[in-house]
Amino acid sequence: MAAGSGKSSLLLEAFPESYPEAIMVGQGSIGISSRSKLATYMGIMDDIRSLLSKQTGRPAGLFSFNSLGACPICEGKGVTTPDVAFADPVTTTCEACGGTRYSDEALSYRYEDKNIVEILALTIDEAVNYFKLPKIIKRVNTLKDVGLGYLTLVQTTSSLSGGEVQRLKLASYLQKEGQIYVLDEPSVGLHAKDNGKLLDVFQTLVNRGNSVIIVEHNLDFIAASDWVIELGPGGGKRGGQIVFEGTPEEMVQAETVTAKWLKTGAAEDFRSTT
């Protein structure tokens, strides 16, 4: 579905009323503690602690700052609040752990060549090659597949953009079948070089019997669709009509705003006109 007006109210409001089973993959909160690390959200945090524990013979709790591994000075908070009378409390980075929250002992143990802090600083892309455990590799690869390979394992989910949250949610749906997914401008915030990766994800969902419906201005996404519906002819009150529907191949033969841009492939100019 491309360009023009009425797309949001049609797809994001009217469509779910008629198809309540559709899964709206929005960009809002992911409904868990927003302070969660990506590794926790992915369900691999315990596995990482267990790898460290197995390799070092130390208890897994030593690799948690909420447990045995907590810095004894800040008690795992990473910051200290000096108790100064008559002054507003000011928190400063804990000098003992440098803000890592872990005790020196916890940081002295390594899995392969990295301690817990260094492991969690890995990006998804790096983690794919670092870990040998199939479960971790599989989960990490799922995030790589949705174009999130640059995120680190320690990044909190609250620090992610709306587009990143949307792709994170999408990653969790990849194994399901026979569903209808609705996404609002999934290309927003995505680096152009990752468009192909996200399109591969959509194709994988479609190959498994799912339907993927997206509101999108990006020509890569429009060209890769099986069926395109263009609303228009203008924006705002001048829109709301279906001005074209058909395959992308048929669209380039049509005389619509989107068809014109699809023919020339001038993606950036196109976005600014709609």
Residues lying near Zn ion in the complex (CB under 5 A):
71, 73-74, 94, 96-97
- Residue 65 or 130 having the CB closest to Zn ion: 65
- Contacts of 105-112 with C-beta under 8 Å, sequence gap 24+, read 105/62, 105/69, 106/62, 106/63, 106/65, 106/68, 106/69, 109/52, 109/55, 109/56, 109/58, 109/62, 109/63, 110/52, 110/55, 110/56, 111/48, 111/51, 111/52, 111/55, 111/56, 112/55
Residues listed for the chain: 274
Least Å distance between CB 98 and Zn ion? 8
The two three-digit tokens of residue 238, written as one number: 């001048």
Q: What is the signed CA dihedral for 243, 10, 199, 144, rounded to 10 degrees?
A: 160
Query: What are the φ and ψ backbone dihedral angles of 18, each rounded to 5 degrees?
Result: -80, -30
Q: How far apart are CA 164 and CA 110, in angstroms?
A: 31
Least Å distance between CB 91 and Zn ion? 12
CA distances from 233 to 40, 158, 221, 229, 254 (A): 46, 38, 20, 12, 13
- Residue 31 or 82 having the CB closest to Zn ion: 82
Least Å distance between CB 75 and Zn ion? 8
Least Å distance between CB 42 and Zn ion? 26
Least Å distance between CB 71 and Zn ion? 3
- Residue 52 or 94 having the CB closest to Zn ion: 94
- Residue 74 or 168 having the CB closest to Zn ion: 74
Give the closest residue to 147 by CA, choosing from 207, 221, 199: 199
Least Å distance between CB 83 and Zn ion? 16
- Residue 118 or 194 having the CB closest to Zn ion: 118
- Residue 62 or 215 having the CB closest to Zn ion: 62
